[in-house]
A and B are shown apart, each in its own frame.
Chain A
Amino acid sequence: MARKGPLFTLLGGGALAAVLLAASVNAAAGDDDEQQNVAGATPPTQAATTAPPPTTPPAVAEEVEPLTYVGYIDGGGASVAIVVNGTEAVAYVCNGSEIEAWFNGPAVNQELLLEAENGELIGSFDDAGAEGETIVDGQTWTFHIEHVEAPEGLYRFADTVVGGAEVEGGWIVLPDGTQVGITTVDGVPRPAPPLDPRTGEVVLEGTTVTVDRVG
């Protein structure tokens, strides 16, 4: 009797895992179906006319547009940008002078659990906005920020510019047109020069470079 106990324990755990896996696959499939229904609004007419054979695997997930959220920390004084791309997210918190942090981590079940070298960010997001809490260099902030579209959003640059200086920069372009950013040149942080959000161009160390929007 005692002999079978351990086996039952393992089988019980295995059965529980199997049930949860099946339920999770269902949950994920339900998500896919919804996306496909949205995308599948047009095909019927196509199918009725000539329609190439539907050999393309319908289950392959379509590229989901990254979601960008930006805004001020509650009470002001710093800004947050979060870009959710599928199940991964990156975030940037910056006060425009010397405090900044780059985060990354999973975005699961509309929850964020991100880590930076000098901080953490945890929160939730939906179509309209994101909210949560972040700690940077031991300082805690809360935030409630909005979903935005380009050119608002997060911009990042990291490269060696003409003259040999190592430059890293982050810019948050806010809905009111304000930009909050820091560039670190050879390890020294300073307020970032303004960026042209239409072209992504900015002058760094006397050279015009193009900065990419994250997402």
Chain B
Amino acid sequence: MNDMDTQAMPAANRGWQLLLVPFLVGALVSVTLGVYSNLHEGTGVAVNVAGFSGPVEAKVWLTTGALTFALLQLVSALVMYGKVPGVNPPQWIGTAHRWSGRIAFLLAVPVAMHCLYAIGFSTGSTRTLLHSLIGCLFFGAFVAKMLGLRKDGLPGWVLPVLGGMAFTGLVGLWWTSSVWYFTTFGVQF
């Protein structure tokens, strides 16, 4: 009886209560990144990945790598939710989804650190402004998604929407960096 009450009564309200902390933390992350990248003077020096002709090329390819794994995220999520006609979600699909996400995230972190530490928030052109804004939003959305995953009883649309935001953000980041680079200067390593 008690169970019924708590479940039946404020279903919508409860969803928002559960989302409060993930959203607040996510927002805090976004704002912190934005403020830090604005205040911190670009040093022009940061650690980087060896094997590329320069840090710009390394970042362009790391971002492309992250996007590849993000595409796996989209596909595995669709399969997991039974949205791909004729495909029965295999047992390992959850694991595949989790690990492709982790790899995408870990590839994106060094890129973001270089942006934050060596360059900083840029309003120099529409492209860099968009890139800076989306970069801050992406990590906030990702944190909200991760924290949301830990909550039971969320409305069904929440995780797909949060995941979709993170995915859209990453596509936007890739578009305003790697695609711009490849189309402007050609495919270089």
Q: Is the Cβ of A108 less than 8 Å from the Cβ of B118?
A: yes
Q: Choose one: B113, B124, B150; the contact of A115 (CB below 8 Å).
A: B124
B81 located at the interface, meaning its Cβ lies under 8 Å from any Cβ of chain A in the complex: no
- By beta carbon, the residue of chain A nearest B151 is A3
A124 near B: Cβ within 8 Å? yes
Q: Which residues 40-61 of B have a CB within 8 angstroms of A?
A: 41-48, 54-56
| B101 within 8 A of partner (CB) | yes
Across the two chains, which residue of chain A brings its CB closest to B105? A13
B13 CB to closest chain A CB, in angstroms? Answer: 23
Q: Roughly how many angstroms separate A60 CA and B157 CA in the complex, as a whole number?
A: 51
Q: Please, which residues of chain B bring their CB within 8 A of the CB of A88?
A: 42
Q: How large is the interface on A (under 10, 10 to 19, 20 to 34, 35 or more residues)?
A: 35 or more
Write out the residue numbers on chain B whose beta carbons fall within 8 Å of the beta carbon of A5.
98, 149
Complex alpha-carbon distance, A124 and B55, angstroms = 11
- Report the minimum CB–CB distance from A200 to chain B (whole Å): 27
B14 at the interface (CB under 8 A from A): no
Binding stretch for chain B, among A23-31, A43-51, A66-74, A174-182? A23-31
In the complex, which of the residues A7, A105, A108 contacts B44, with contact meaning CB atoms closer than 8 Å?
A: A108
> Contact at A86–B44, with CB atoms within 8 Å?
yes
How close is A124's CB to chain B, nearest CB, in angstroms? 7
Contacts of B105 in A (CB 8 A): 9, 13
Contact A109 B150 (CB under 8 A): no
Q: How far is the CB of B97 from chain A (nearest CB, A)?
A: 11
Q: Confirm or deny: B78 has a beta carbon within 8 angstroms of a beta carbon on chain A.
A: no
B185 CB-CB contact with A under 8 Å? yes
Closest Cβ of chain A: how far from B42's Cβ, in Å? 4
> Hey, what's the 0/1 contact readout for B82-122 against A, CB within 8 Å counting as 1?
00000000000010001001100110011011000111001
Q: Which 9 A-B pairs have the closest CB atoms?
A: A6-B146, A87-B44, A24-B46, A23-B47, A87-B42, A28-B43, A6-B149, A20-B113, A28-B45
Chain A residues packing against B (C-beta within 8 Å): 2-3, 5-7, 9-10, 12-13, 16-17, 20-21, 23-24, 27-28, 31, 86-88, 104-109, 111, 113, 115, 120, 122, 124, 133, 135
* A13-B109, A17-B112 given; 13 more Cβ-contact pairs under 8 Å: A3-B150, A6-B150, A9-B146, A10-B143, A13-B106, A86-B44, A87-B41, A87-B42, A105-B128, A106-B119, A109-B54, A115-B124, A122-B185
Between A and B, 25 residue pairs with Cβ closer than 8 Å are A2-B94, A3-B150, A5-B98, A5-B149, A6-B145, A6-B150, A7-B150, A9-B101, A13-B109, A24-B47, A24-B113, A31-B43, A31-B45, A87-B118, A87-B119, A105-B128, A106-B119, A106-B122, A108-B42, A108-B44, A108-B55, A109-B46, A115-B124, A115-B125, A120-B184
